[in-house]
Amino acid sequence: MNCMNCGAPLNKSPYCPSCGFHVEIQKKVWYLSNIYYNQGLDKAQIRDLSGAIDLLKRSLKYNKLNIQARNLLGLVYFETGEAVAALSEWVISKNIMPENNIASEYIDRLQENANKLDVINQTIKKYNDCLQCCRRGSEDVAVIQLKKILNQNPKLIKGYHLLALIYLKQEEYEKARKILKKAAKIDKTNSTTLRFLKEVDEQTGTMTSLEPRKWSFGGRDRVKVEKGQSVAYQSDNDLVIQPPTFRESSMAATLLNLGFGFLVGACLVWFLMVPANTQKINREANEKVVSYSNTMATQSAELKKMEEEIAQSQETVSSAQEQIQQADDKVTTYENLIKAYAAFQSGNFTSAANVLKNVNSDLLSVDAKEIYDSIYANVKSTMKKEMKTEGEVAFYQKDYAAAIEAFQKALELDDSDGEVWNLLAHSYRMSGDFEKAKETFQSIVDKFPGTKKASTAKKYIDNEALMKSGVTADTTSSSSTEAGDTTGGTTGADNSQPQEGQDNSQPDSSSPTGDNTPAEDPGAGEGAQE
């Protein structure tokens, strides 16, 4: 023991002979450290490794320079499969006392067997992987991996505990008991082992014995058997010693015993080899399953990554195509605007109006929108007239869908034209869209109150049969002697002359529209009157 102040050797005096430092407390503390070391050594000798670790840690707490306690702690750690912790203690010990330290021999032995150290490190990594598998719910994969780990590192207490915990979760209590008994052989008093065994005992109702089995015959406990000596056994409270007996065996008995021995040997070989081969086959199959699982997981991850890349590429392509389409639409719009402007400047309003219909004003800039608005204001009437004419042509060709589209565009330009409203209503009626026809007739009534257009439209609204028939409203209400009176399917009266009470600008009353359209049913084939 050396002085903690100057490092000089101490004697029985409570003071350091070199520096005079009071070392009585130091001696007591180090003495206590040695006591804990001795107790830890006793625990380690009887395989109470958990108790030994606790006592050795206490010893180092009182004296961190206790080399023997630190080296022994490293050995206990190594015995429990904690190679990293063991190396840490031995390295610290070597740094404290570089010379004549057995820790150097421990480190050298471990480093000489690099394969064993690598195997231990791999088992630790695989143990951590098993923990992750358990967290993900893959207990079966963890069981396979843990069995492999314990074959390679049979002293890894944590591996036994995790495997037993999985068996407890799966309610395989006997398997858990077997694993925990193996762990108890390494460390008798490990608190985790004892706690898991208690759980197994509670679930099965059977107490687990960790003591070696004593054979007994008829209440007699055998205590000692030695070759060539008497057999001693306990019978109640008396120790009975049975002398050995000798009997000569005949040749037949000898041969019979030999044959029986060969038979027993063959059976033993069979029962030992077959399970070993089966275990080998199962182990190889399990290894292949784990390998295939890892490969499939890797491939799935790569496939998912490729799918994400493809999706991103498709989004990029779609975005590029959309941008290209927008650019093309914008170019087309500006080209049509230029053509319309050129036609407008040359005084060709009709051509300008036709081209202007293909211009999307939403794609124009502020300056271009001003040019568009200027041209539009000047050719609006021309565009409206062309849409009306286009609709009339389609109407009398019985192309009611095209007529509806043209009349709607004409009304967007000018909704005060009653003739267009009339033609649009009859286009809906003749196409079979009676609801739209009623709505349009109602618009005529609202927009042109007190006119003949309004009264005619009211007849169609009020008379469902008239709405769905092919005859005109005037046919059902006027006599055949009136000018312009017609029936469905007949040719209309001459509508070149104005009716009484109408000026030349008003439509003929014989028209189905109340306008200057032919008297027969819309779509009969005659053209509109101007």
Domains 24-112 and 117-204 share a fold: yes
- Which tens digits make up the pLDDT trace of 268-278? 777 777 777 77
**Mean pLDDT for all residues in the chain:** 75
End-to-end CA distance of the chain: 132
Longest CA–CA span in the chain (Å) reads 158
Q: How confident is the model at residue 187 (pLDDT cuts 50, 70, 90)?
A: confident
- pLDDT tens digits, one per residue of 220-267: 444 444 444 444 444 444 444 444 444 455 677 777 888 888 788 888
| DSSP line for 51-115 | HHHHHHHHHHHH-TT-HHHHHHHHHHHHHTT-HHHHHHHHHHHHHH--SS-HHHHHHHHHHH-HH
8 Å CB contact between 290 and 141: yes
Could you give the dihedral angle defined by the CA atoms of residues 110, 113, 116 and 121, in that order, rounded to the nearest 10 degrees? 60
pTM score: 0.35
* Sequence spans of domains, the chain: 24-112, 117-204, 214-240
Strand partners, 26: none
Give pLDDT tens digits for 488-525.
333 333 333 333 333 333 333 334 444 434 333 333 33
- Cα–Cα dist 179/205, whole Å: 18
Work out the average pLDDT over 188-202: 84
Which residue do the tokens 């067997």 mark?
113
Measured CA distances, 123 to 76, 193, 351 (Å): 18, 20, 87
DSSP line for 456-513:
HHHHHHH-HHHHHSSS-HHHHHS-TTSTT---TTSPPPP-SSPPTT--TTSPPTTSTT
Report residue 169 as tokens: 């979760």
Domain 24-112 sits in CATH 3.40.1190.20: no
The shares of helix, strand and coil residues in the chain, as percent rounded to the nearest 5, are 65, 5, 30
**Considering the domain 117-204, what is its CATH architecture?**
Alpha Horseshoe (1.25)
d(CA 209, CA 221): 17
